[in-house]
Structure 1
Amino acid sequence: MRFFYLQVLKWPSCQLELTTPKRPHRIPYLLSPSEVRRIIEHADNPKYAMMLALCYACGLRVSELVALQVSHIHGEAGYCQVVQAKGQKDRQVPLPDTTLRMLRGYWSAFRPVSWLFTGRDPERPLCIDSVQKYYRKTRLKAGISGSGGIHGLRHAFAT
């Protein structure tokens, strides 16, 4: 309404006291540990299985996941460095032993050079959309319905 009066009708002196209705706060569906395990087990691509496991074990956002470089993994110290995350903040995230073992196996198999997860072009990181699409496909294959995306792994990590 405000836009209509100010921009379309060009009534700059119009003082509208409009209150916008509050949006209902929707509680996200939380995946159980067994559901997360099923999703990771149904990932038939080892690279994507590693990504899903890392996303859950470290509570990473998908943008943080695809931005990981080999140099960000500090295996001996047991942490993963997340660089320029949301809000342009860096942070260190503990790496559980099981995830670190999986990462070492992944590294042995794929030998990433710069980016930890690449697409067809090894010089560029994997696209966020690819990870999200694979997650949805794998979630359905695991028999877990719902409309939640890969961010659900982050929510499951936090609970």
Structure 2
Amino acid sequence: MSEQQIIDTGYALIDQFASEAPTATMPASGIVTYQGVGAASPSGSTPSEIIATATSVYQVTAQVDFANSTMTGQAYNFQSTTPGYDISGSLGATGTVSGSSFSGTYSGSMTEQGIPVTYSGTIAGDFVGGDAAAMIGTGSGTATAQGIGTIGFNSYWGAAR
């Protein structure tokens, strides 16, 4: 997906699921894969601020095991909102499901403009829609660039079955 396709997919997910209440009756079994997109910002803290000030957008895949109340996921295909800025790599996530909510951690190493960057942080959110049709979440973490330093950032993402 290109940067614009990721952005368009994100707006479609927001239009479809942002006003949905958390799922009332969660699935009791099964492993479900969710696909979606996200945005990250070092300056935004609310979902609307993160979207407005995003420095990168990316794709998300999550696998949820409802019987065991666990989840794993990956953020990949990062695209900078700054033309010509190169980002490569992916981040992995693990977490737990409790009721209609989920929480977890993520980490990984990527390369930005040829510089190794290590990421780590937390994620949390809710399943929304009938039969847990989508996941909407936020994240908070740090990025440490080798030889440069560490910055904090926030993310907002969504994924649907």
- Give the number of the structure whose residues are more often strand, by fraction: 2
> Normalising by structure 2, what TM-score?
0.23
Higher relative contact order (CA 8 A, sep 6+): 1
- Give the number of the structure whose residues are more often helix, by fraction: 1
Q: Which has the larger radius of gyration?
A: 1
